[in-house]
DNA sequence: GTTTGATTGAAACGAACGTTTGAAACAATT
DNA sequence: AATTGTTTCAAACGTTCGTTTCAATCAAAC
C-alpha cells in the first residue's frame, strides 16, 4: 500500500458516486481500499471529514481550471460581454474533460459531481456552497454581461435549467445508453461538451416572450 | 387517526423528498405519522414496499394525465407531427401543476419527483423503469415525429438534457431562491412551466452542426 | 354476547452503523 | 541499539437500523 489516504479517497469516491453518501458505509470503503476499519477516523477524523476531503480533492482543481479558462477568455477579448458559448464551455468542458482522466477520478468523479446538486445530506450542501459559491458568482456575472437584454430573473431560471441539464448528464452514465439502445455513447466527452453547450446556449438565447406554441 | 396507511404515506413522502430514501428511517416516519413502529411492516410489508407505494400513489395519476394531454393533442391535430411546445407542455405541466395541489403532495411531491432520477437506490430505479417506461417511450415517439430532421442520437441526448433540467427544477425549491436573492419565486408553477418549455424547446430545435461559437 | 378477523401496541430481535480503544508494528532519528 | 512519533491492527463500544413477536384492542357478523 503506497498511500493509505489515497486508497481511501479513491474507494470513497467510487462508492459515493455509485451508491450515494448516506448509503455508503465506512466498512464498504475500507473493504475496497484494503485498509483497517479505523483508518478513516485516523486520517480524516470522521466520515464527514472524509466526504469533505473527497469533494475538495476534485472540485478545487476543477474550479481553478474553470476560472483559468474564463480569465483566458477575458484576456483575449477584453472585459466586456464574452461570447455565450465560450463562457458555457469554460464552465462545462473542464468538468467533462476531467471526468475522462483516470488520474482525476474518471467517470466516478463525473457521477460524483452530478450527484452533488441533488444530494440531500446537509453536510454536503454546506461543503458545496463553500466550494462552488465564488466560482458560481463569477460565471453568473459573465453570463449577465453576455446576455444584457435578458432580465435577471430569466437569467437565474435559465442558469438553474442549465445546471440541471449538466448535473444530470454528468451523473447518468447508464440510463441514456439503455434508453437509446446503445446509440448514445456516454464516454464521448467532446461530443457531450459540444452538445451540452449547444443545447444550453440555445435555451439561454431564446427570446423571453415566446409564450405561444410554434 | 382516520387512515393509518395515508398518514404513513404522507409522512414517508415528506421525509423521502427532503432527506432522501436511504437517510429516512421507519422511526422517523412513524414519529411524524403518529403510528406504531410495526405499522409500516404490517400495511406495506417492508420499507421497500412502502417506497413502492409512495411512488405509485403519485406517479400513476401523473402519467395518466400526461398521456391524456398527449392523446387530446393528437385528437385535435391528427397523428402526424405535433407542435414541439405542446408535447413538452403535456410532459412538464402535469408534474409542475400537481406539485401545487396540496392534496397531491404539494412541494413534497415536486422534490420527490425530481429526486427520483438521480436516486442511486437500485430498488427505486427498478420501480422507476416500471412506472415511467411506457410513458417515456410514448413521448419520445411523439418528439421524433415532431422533429423529423433531428437525428435519433441527437434527440436522445437532448431528451436527456431536458430530463435533467426538469428534474433539477422540480427538486430544488430553495437554492434558486437563495442564489437569485429572492428574485425567482419557486412557487410560480405556471411561470416555471412556461420557462421550462421555452428553454427546452429552444435547445431541442437548435440545428445540429452549430459547433462554432457565436 | 360471543366470536372472528383486522389492526394496534410495547418490547425485543439480530445486524449494521460510526466511532473509540490500546496494543502491535513500522519508520526515522539519535 | 535504543528511542520517538506515526501508522496499522483486531476488538469492542454504544446506537440505530429494519423487522418480528405476541398480547391487547377494536369492529363487525352471527
Cell numbers 455565450 correspond to A84
Residue A109 clears pLDDT 70, i.e. is over it: yes
For residue B50, the distance in angstroms to the closest alpha carbon of chain A comes to 18
* Residue A145 pLDDT greater than 80, yes or no: yes
Does a structural domain hold residue A33? Answer: no
Q: Is residue B25 part of a domain?
A: no
Nucleotide closest to B27 measured between CA and C1': D17
Instruction: Classify burial at B188, counting beta carbons within 10 Å of its beta carbon; exposed 0-12, middle 13-18, buried 19 or more.
Output: middle
More confident residue, A112 or A50: A50
Distance in Å from D30's C1' to B31's CA comes to 39
Segment among A106-115, A151-160, B26-35 with least mean pLDDT:
A106-115
- Cα A97 from Cα A41, distance rounded (Å): 32
A189 inside domain: yes
pLDDT at B161: 96
Q: What is the mean pLDDT of residues A54-77?
A: 94
User: Does residue A11 fall inside a structural domain?
Assistant: no
- Domain membership of residue A29 (yes or no) is no
Of all residues in chain B, the one with the smallest CA distance to A123 is B19
Mean local confidence (pLDDT), A17-34: 93
pLDDT for res B214: 38
Confidence of residue A116 (pLDDT cuts 50, 70, 90): confident
What per-residue confidence (pLDDT) applies to B2? 59
Question: In this structure, what CATH number is given to the domain that contains residue B73?
Answer: 1.10.357.10
| Lowest pLDDT segment from A24-28, A119-123, B59-63, B78-82 | A119-123
Which has more confidence, A62 or A210? A62
Whether A5 contacts A100, CB under 8 Å: no
Q: Does A156 touch chain B (CB under 8 A)?
A: yes
- Residue A194 backbone dihedrals phi, psi, to 5 degrees: -60, -45
Give the pLDDT confidence score for residue B118 in this predicted structure: 75
Per-residue pLDDT of B64-76, as tens digits, reads 999 999 999 999 9
Q: What pLDDT is recorded for position A210?
A: 52
| Chain B contact for A154 (CB, 8 A cutoff) | yes
How many structural domains is chain B composed of? 1
- The answer to whether position A211 is within a domain reads no
- For strand D, is any atom closer than 7 Å to the CB of B130? no
pLDDT reading at A214 higher than 60: no
- What was the pLDDT predicted at B104? 77
- Touching check for B69 and chain A: CB below 8 Å? no
Look at residues A165, A174, A63 and name the one whose alpha carbon lies nearest to residue A114: A165
CA/C1' separation B34–D24 (Å): 19
Of the two residues B125 and A51, the one the predictor is more confident about is A51
Q: What gap in Å lies between CA B130 and CA B109, rounded to an integer?
A: 19
- Half-sphere CA count of A144, side-chain side, radius 13 A: 11
Answer whether B162's CB lies under 8 Å from B203's CB: yes
| pLDDT < 50: residue spans in chain B | 1, 212-214
Cell representation of residue B134: 411506457
Domain coverage including residue B130: 56-205
B121 touches strand D (CB under 7 A): no
pLDDT of residue A211: 54
Q: Which of B121, B156, B198 sits opposite A206 (nearest CB)?
A: B198
- pLDDT for res A2: 59
Amino acid at each position: 500500500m503506497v498511500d493509505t489516504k489515497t486508497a481511501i479517497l479513491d474507494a470513497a469516491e467510487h462508492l459515493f458516486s455509485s451508491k450515494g453518501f448516506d448509503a455508503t458505509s465506512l466498512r464498504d470503503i475500507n473493504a475496497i481500499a484494503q485498509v483497517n476499519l479505523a483508518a478513516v477516523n485516523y486520517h480524516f477524523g470522521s466520515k464527514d471529514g472524509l466526504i469533505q476531503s473527497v469533494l475538495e480533492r476534485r472540485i478545487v482543481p476543477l474550479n481553478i481550471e474553470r476560472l483559468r479558462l474564463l480569465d483566458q477568455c477575458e484576456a483575449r477579448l477584453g472585459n466586456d460581454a464574452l461570447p455565450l458559448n465560450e463562457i458555457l464551455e469554460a464552465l462545462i468542458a473542464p468538468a467533462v474533460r476531467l471526468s475522462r482522466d483516470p488520474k482525476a477520478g474518471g467517470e466516478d468523479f463525473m457521477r460524483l459531481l452530478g450527484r452533488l446538486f441533488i444530494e440531500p445530506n446537509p453536510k454536503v450542501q454546506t461543503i458545496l456552497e463553500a466550494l462552488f459559491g465564488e466560482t458560481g458568482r463569477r460565471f453568473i456575472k459573465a453570463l449577465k454581461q453576455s446576455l444584457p437584454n435578458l432580465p435577471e430573473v430569466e437569467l437565474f431560471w435559465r442558469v438553474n435549467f442549465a445546471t440541471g441539464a449538466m448535473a444530470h448528464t454528468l451523473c447518468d452514465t447508464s440510463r441514456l445508453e439503455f434508453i437509446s439502445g446503445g446509440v448514445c455513447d456516454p464516454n464521448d466527452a467532446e461530443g457531450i461538451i459540444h452538445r451540452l453547450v449547444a443545447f444550453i446556449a440555445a435555451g439561454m438565447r431564446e427570446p423571453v416572450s415566446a409564450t405561444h406554441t410554434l
